[in-house]
Amino acid sequence: MNVSHKLIALTISLAVAAGCQRSDQETTGADAPATREVPAAAAKFAEVDGQRLQNAAGEPSQWMTYGGTYSERHFSNLDQIDTGNVARLGLAWFADYDTNLTQTGTPLYIDGVIYVSTAWSKVYAFDARTGAQLWYYNPKVPGEWAVKVCCGLVNRGIAAYDGKIYVGTLDGRLIALDAATGEEVWSKLTIDPDQRYSITSAPRVVKGKVLIGNSGGEFGVRGYIGAYDAQTGEEAWRFYTVPGNPAEGFENEAMARAADTWGGEWWKLGGGGTVWDAIVYDPESDLVYFGTGNGTPWNQRDRDPTGGDNLYLASIVAVRPDTGEYVWHYQTTPGDTWDYDAVSPMMLLDIELDGKPRHVLVQPCKNGFLYVLDAASGKLLSADPFTTVNWADGVNLETGRPNVRPEARYEIGSVFNLAPGVQGAHGWHANSYNPSTGLMYIPTQRAYFPMIAEENYQPSEVGYNLGLDFAAPFTYYRDHPDVPSEFVGYVIAWDPATGREVWRGEENQGATGGTLATAGGLVFHSGGSSNEFRAYDARSGDKLWHVDVQTGVVAAPISYEIDGTQYVAVSVGGGTAAGYFAPNHSRLLVFKLDGTTTLPTPVEYVPRPLNPPVLTASAEEIELGRQQYSQYCAACHGTNGQTRGATFPNLMVTPLLHTQEGFDQVVLQGVRAERGMASFAQVLEPRDSAAILAYVVSLATAAKDAAPTAAAGPTVNQPHEDIE
Ligand code: CA
């Protein structure tokens, strides 16, 4: 199964939709969703207004916004499914998607209808009773836009308001869809299309405005968040996260102050600081909080030789929702040089700290510290490591600054085996919180990455701008087998009041997935590359239930209720250990007690063997290929040619290794542009393409030598599911 099937499937999606679905409800039959009970929302789809959003906790049967409520706790107050009966949980229905790529979308459930986004920024609406597809929307993102996307062609979610569903697209559009029909109501281009922006995150609706940021910090853009009128799409305000060229003046006081923390000519590459995930609204303080990403390039020496703090990179920022006016910020990683985005999901909690009730904003950050901030003032209340951290010895609560170890800044000529590595302690995956246990449930990673500065870094108009050797893990860990190199994921239960881990779930290779906490005393967890969707006891951490979903599962689950029955829904697909060439089953799965639907038996799959041609290239040519690969290829194909799971091909087993002409057609002539592989002729010449081919052949040869009988090579440092 590959992407070409997806393109064919796309054109006939409506025809196959019925055949793709199964339901265990006798009234619908297995293949006939056409005659069915009209959803309760037939007259009114997505009738969500500001009051309903603000009171979402009072409607536990619904899931109207990305994090469940404005507090973004990913908590369902439904308790029909509980610790005593979760073993009876079974599939109620499922629906196939027309994409076989990684799925990261959190669905919404509103008045009888499930809305969910998939890879390539597509949106589906299903009758939540039966699984019948109500509509499907494809924004038709140009395939070649993929070269501007750092970390998978994903979409993490949508928003609903006043009869409309809002989705941000990879090519930077914010689109309002009629929730009844899926027809476009308006479309607003939120970016400069000549720059390397993309959108993968979920919009939020606050006070009649749709808030959305964007991605692109690995390439070189100026980060910002925008607010757009929910009815018209007109831009209401924009808040940049880093200052522009001082010679052109500053948009506001916040930018002028930020410019004092920068040196060099950062604006030429935009600076970075993209707002690519967390956005939280607090009605109590009337503030919108968002996280900002890393600087561009990652290596601060190449971005700001003066070593300033570089505000507002790697920060949590609070602004007024009506105007976008700056109110406060907290910078988690001053002078970031490690790709330590501060965009990870945040939530609002009311907890007791040192005997005092506190209204706080909490973020388990990619840099390995969990920050508790006063929600109104931004004052730092606590900062504790929640995984292995070696770049800083704690955080000074007086100054709010981390105690950075000097060697962590990887001087040229040195190596620092960073923890958490650039994979991060925690990515975009949903945290959850159960008010009864007082515990947060945090998808957590333990990861290393060797930081090696790139000498003589030059900015590039194509590919990453990092200022470090992104292909380093393969050779460094091969040559240093005794240093830690693991990348594992698991869920932890964390007490934000005491700053302590209470229990830990099982560890799996690579990035882990999102969580959902429920009033039934359960924590549902998407188990990443384990292909397992599971439920833990929220208090003890005992694993009470699990199911093999036949593919990777990283998206966040939701729960809702119809006619007195509680359901749990999750998108699955992609990120499989088996890789791009393996069959992949991207679907929406919906569970209930005593559900009896079964998934089709997976197609048997025999992985492609390692069969590289004889390596004839010189060491110099292979080294040139390694450098070019690091710059232009590793973003999608991983640090060692095979580590992007289901989204991009494993180059070590591609037949193109045997034909330089065919390889050049893809790399230099763009024959696969519509699938996302644009031509790199702008920056690569035929000798570069030959060198890259030689480098990949050298990888495949080394892998085959290391494990002659293995289907694919060593998995040194696993996929970077969430480097964005
Ligand atoms: Ca990043």
pLDDT at 655 exceeding the cut of 70: yes
Alpha helix (H) residue ranges in 497-644: 619-628, 634-637
- CATH class of the structural domain 619-706: mainly alpha
Per mean pLDDT, which range of 302-311, 331-340, 526-535, 626-635 is the poorest?
Answer: 626-635
pLDDT at 119 exceeding the cut of 90: yes
The band of 555, judged by pLDDT with boundaries at 50, 70 and 90, is very high
pLDDT at 567 exceeding the cut of 80: yes
User: 505-516: per-residue pLDDT in tens?
Assistant: 999 988 899 999
Mean pLDDT of all residues in 76-97: 98
pLDDT at 723: 33
pLDDT at 557: 98
C-alpha 75 – ligand 1 centre gap (Å): 27
C-alpha 296 – ligand 1 centre gap (Å): 9
C-alpha 94 – ligand 1 centre gap (Å): 33
pLDDT at 584 exceeding the cut of 80: no
pLDDT at 150: 84
pLDDT at 543 exceeding the cut of 80: yes
C-alpha 277 – ligand 1 centre gap (Å): 11
Residue 213 near residue 225 (C-beta atoms within 8 A): yes
User: 363-390: per-residue pLDDT in tens?
Assistant: 999 999 999 999 999 999 999 999 999 9
pLDDT at 714: 33
pLDDT at 711: 45
C-alpha 120 – ligand 1 centre gap (Å): 20
pTM of the model: 0.88
Nearest C-alpha neighbor of 503 from the set 530, 543, 532: 543
C-alpha 501 – ligand 1 centre gap (Å): 26
Give the span between the Cα atoms of 706 and 491, in whole angstroms. 33
Per mean pLDDT, which range of 45-59, 227-241, 351-365, 690-704 is the poorest?
Answer: 690-704
User: 91-107: per-residue pLDDT in tens?
Assistant: 999 999 998 788 999 99
C-alpha 218 – ligand 1 centre gap (Å): 6
pLDDT at 675 exceeding the cut of 50: yes
C-alpha 471 – ligand 1 centre gap (Å): 16
Residue 645 near residue 577 (C-beta atoms within 8 A): yes
pLDDT at 463: 83
For helices 686-706 and 619-628, what crossing angle results, to 10°? 100
pLDDT at 43 exceeding the cut of 70: no
C-alpha 555 – ligand 1 centre gap (Å): 19
Mean pLDDT of all residues in 114-121: 97
Distances (CA, A) of 140 to 144, 145, 160, 600, 679: 11, 11, 21, 29, 19
First to last CA, the chain: 26
Ion ligand 1 — residues with CB under 5 Å? Answer: 293-294, 339, 341
Alpha helix (H) residue ranges in 274-360: 300-303
pLDDT at 435 exceeding the cut of 60: yes
The band of 17, judged by pLDDT with boundaries at 50, 70 and 90, is very low
C-alpha 339 – ligand 1 centre gap (Å): 5
Higher pLDDT, 580 or 593: 593
Average predicted confidence (pLDDT) for the chain: 89
pLDDT at 579: 66
C-alpha 171 – ligand 1 centre gap (Å): 18
Half-sphere exposure (Cβ direction) of 109: Cα atoms closer than 13 Å: 25
The band of 720, judged by pLDDT with boundaries at 50, 70 and 90, is very low
Query: Catalytic amino acids?
Result: 339
Location of each CATH 1.10.760.10 domain in the chain: 619-706
